[in-house]
Copies of this chain bind each other. A is one copy, B any other.
Amino acid sequence: MSEGVEWALHGCLNLAWAEEGEDARAVPAAVLARMYELPPAYLNKQLQALARAGIVGSTSGPRGGFRLARSPREITLLDVVVAIEGADEAFRCTGILGQGPDGDPSVDYRKTCVISQTMRRAELRWRRELAGQTLADIMTTVRERFPAVPGETRDRLANLRP
């Protein structure tokens, strides 16, 4: 899995904290990058993927940057992962059963192949878990365990502006 997934998740979380502040300004990619000492241009690229997926909105120019495009309650972790990694399943069943000399091209082996089914079921469990966790859920848990984090994050974001 691409490392950008972690960046994107933390980025969204930070955008969510920022959104809660009084002066909710858009956050430039460079500010998020400074927060974790990440390559700014590359982080920007990942955020572009989030923008294409409709998870964040982007604005150019001064006072521009990224902000969440919808409520944290309507952003699941799966949404973010899919936006970065793509929607393809990790286990690519090429249907090798049909490739052999005795293979029947008219059969869809992804449906009948028991191995494929089992792998897909496991992957479905993973997806379900991620689809069941929204950004809002994460925020609630963080607030319970570390009440200071939201405020601190907003402060850091403000201080990291140029």
Contacts and interface: CB of A to CB of B under 8 A. Distances in A.
A138 B36 CA distance: 45
A92 B1 contact: yes
The quantity of this chain's copies bound in the complex is: 2
B142 A96 contact: no
A118 interface: yes
A6 B96 contact: yes
B126 A123 contact: yes
Contacts of A125: 125-126, 128-129
B130 A36 contact: no
A157 B35 CA distance: 58
Contact of A35 (B100, B119, B126): B100
A122 B126 contact: yes
A13 to B, nearest CB: 7
B129 A121 contact: yes
Interface in A113-143: 114-115, 118-119, 121-123, 125-126, 128-130, 133, 138, 141-142
Contact of A156 (B102, B119, B123, B138): B102
A36 B94 CA distance: 11
Contacts of A141: 114
A138 B114 contact: yes
State the 3 A-B residue pairs at the shortest beta-carbon distance, nearest first.
A122-B129, A126-B126, A125-B125
11 contacts: A1-B91, A6-B92, A6-B94, A6-B115, A10-B96, A36-B100, A37-B101, A77-B122, A102-B156, A114-B138, A122-B129
